[in-house]
Amino acid sequence: MYLKRGKTSSLISSSLRTNGGPVNRNDSSDPQRTVAIAQAGRSSIELVRANQGMPMPLEDQRPDPLRADPAEMIEECSALLPGFNEVGLIPAVATDVASGVVLMLAWMNAEALNKTIETGQAWYWSRSRQRLWHKGATSGQIQQVEELRIDCDQDTVWLKVSVAGDGGCCHTGRPSCFYRRILTGSEGPTLQRLSHARPLSR
């Protein structure tokens, strides 16, 4: 799924949260998830028909969640239904939009994802500090989101970003957190630091 930067994200909280908790998309018996999937199906049908100038048949106005395939709805619908885990987080992978290099893996909660969509800059949830984290706010290494995607199961977010400042990303001062290669040998796996992955600053 491709999300255009700046698109309103109010549906994240309204469609995914009932009674203050995130929808559990891993449990097909979860009534919150069933409602969210049904709403997603309806919004998808409405969007397609509106774009084509077609009227809404009565039978399409209320998709039957019992007849819908939950997995297919999540995979093919146009509604954003992030699959947050049991602690309300979703993994987010950031890559450099120009080179395609993987920069980092972080986590987002619903608020961080909302802020990322609304501002066009990467926001994450810091598990160590237990608070929102505007990437680069203090270091100047702001991640400007050029494209935002979500995978087929809607349980992983992919950010294609351009990095401001010195272009760094990792807390070690390197441009990527993935600066070591895993080598396998007779004595077991070892790590090899990439020759070009030197810290930009410390």
- Residue 47 confidence (pLDDT): 44
Please state which CATH number belongs to domain 90-172.
Answer: 3.10.20.810
For the chain, 202 residues long, give each residue's pLDDT as a single digit of tens: 444 444 444 445 444 433 334 445 455 445 555 556 555 554 444 444 444 454 544 344 434 554 567 777 889 999 999 999 999 999 999 999 999 999 999 999 999 999 999 999 999 999 999 999 999 999 999 999 999 999 999 999 999 999 999 999 999 999 999 999 999 988 899 999 987 766 665 4
Cα Dmax for the chain? 67
64 among annotated binding-site residues? no
Was 77 annotated as part of a binding site? no
Has 155 been labeled as part of a binding site?
yes
Tokens linked to 185? 């040998």
Is 170 marked as a binding-site residue? yes
pTM for this model (two decimals): 0.69
Are the CB atoms for 143 and 135 separated by under 8 Å?
yes
Please report, for the chain, the start and end positions of each structural domain, with discontinuous segments joined by +. Answer: 24-76, 90-172
**pLDDT recorded at residue 73:** 84
Q: Is 152 annotated as a binding residue?
A: yes
Predicted pLDDT of residue 72:
79
Task: Give the chain as a DSSP string.
Answer: -EE-TT---HHHHHHHEETTEE--TT-TT-HHHHHHHHHHHHHHHHHHHHHTT----GGGSS--TTTS-HHHHHHH-SS------TTS-EEEEEEETTT--EEEEEEE-HHHHHHHHHHSB-EEEETTTTEEEETTTTTS--EEEEEEEE-TTS--EEEEEEE-TT---STTS-S-S--EEEE--TT--EEEE-TT---S--
For residue 62, the model assigns a pLDDT of 38
**C-alpha distances in Å from residue 198, one per residue of 106, 159, 194:** 21, 24, 8
Question: Is 177 flagged in the annotation as binding?
Answer: yes
Position 32 scores a pLDDT of 59
Residue 168: what pLDDT?
Answer: 92
